[in-house]
Amino acid sequence: MRILLLADASSYHTQRWKESLKDKGDEVLTVSLEEGDGDIRLGSFGGKFRYILAVPKVKALTESFKPDIVFSHFLPNYGLIGYLLKLSPKVLALWGSDILHWAFKTPLHTRLARSIISSYDVVIVDAHFLVPLLRDTFKYAGKIIVVPFGVEKELRNSPLRNLPKKPLHFVSIRRHEDLFNHKEILNFLRSLSERFEIRVTYLQDGSRREHIERYARRIGLKVRFMGKVSKNEYVEILKSAHFCISIPHRDASSVSLLECMALGGVPIVSDIPANREWVSESSAIISPPKAEDMLQIFLKRYSWEWWERARSRNKIIIQQRCNWEANVESLRRTFKNLIHE
């Protein structure tokens, strides 16, 4: 198949899709405005209108590449480009924050989201609770596929590393944006540091990074801010994590959280539907996204024995339900069916 992949080339998840589809023998052209390992970078000109302004260049590329299918990732940018291309067939992969946050900023955002989504033949989501949202709020009548983006075999089968009982290593795995409640995370960890010996690592980047770094310094919490790291570094950090933290008010299934579970980190997560599809009180710290609640639940739940049982349960869940390679092959069959309809 000739697949036009419209996505953020700087994202690790985009690279996974590109490499996995190519490994299956597909010809993949990755087009992106962001820097990264894409085949074609269009340049980040035009400010907030840059994705719309990129459409003529993408159209020109489609005339020479002649894709069998368009595969767009993330609703407000590459989903928008795919919508404006007016090609068919096409598939949209939603990433969570796009459908749960961006699409509800204003009534205009909601109407635009409805138009974009309705233009796609198939929409992919990674959590079951998103299906009624697409049907009822966004009036999508097409095919919806629920599939976790999954975890690669290498990570699923990686043995759990024996970790020391102290210091407890906490890793923040989400972007540095307000929707992930980083101030509450830092306050929780600061309070916890008065009771346990801990170390804290912050992965990812975002528009609020400087603010988060300043706040950590202000409250006297030592944090190692790593930003975006290579895949090998990322895996090594997660292997060394006792806990991985992700506490948004709304979210879909976080691939980073699933990867952390595969490598032995026990989740500390907000009590939202997407997280409940993967963890329970026997395998995670589940809390409202407030520092005091997180602290009280952690102190009530945590023991070394509980932690060892929880990480083992999570490993089994990932091995049983998160086969990335099988999920990719299943979606390729969907692509082929669309092409031949």
pLDDT in tens, 1-41: 999 999 999 888 898 999 999 999 999 999 999 887 767 77
- According to DSSP, the residues that pair with 276 across neighbouring strands are none
Query: Residue 232 belongs to what H/E stretch?
Result: helix 231-239
Low-confidence ranges of the chain (pLDDT < 70): 38, 43-46
Choose among 273, 277, 272, 249: nearest CA to 261.
277
What pLDDT score does 36 carry?
Answer: 77
Other CB atoms within a 10 A radius of the CB of residue 117 amount to 22
Question: Phi-psi bin for 138: left (phi > 0), alpha (psi -120 to 50), beta?
Answer: alpha
pTM above 0.85, yes or no: yes
Classify domain 153-321 at the CATH topology level: Rossmann fold (3.40.50)
What pLDDT score does 273 carry?
Answer: 92
Choose among 249, 147, 232, 164: nearest CA to 198.
164
- CA end-to-end span of the chain: 14
What pLDDT score does 45 carry?
Answer: 65
Cβ–Cβ < 8 Å for 32, 4:
no
For domain 2-150+324-340, give the CATH superfamily: Glycogen Phosphorylase B; (3.40.50.2000)
What pLDDT score does 146 carry?
Answer: 93
What pLDDT score does 252 carry?
Answer: 87
Cβ–Cβ < 8 Å for 79, 51:
no
Residue 320, Cβ density class (10 Å: 0-12 exposed, 13-18 middle, ≥19 buried):
exposed
What pLDDT score does 46 carry?
Answer: 61
Q: Which part of the chain has CATH 3.40.50.2000?
A: 2-150+324-340, 153-321
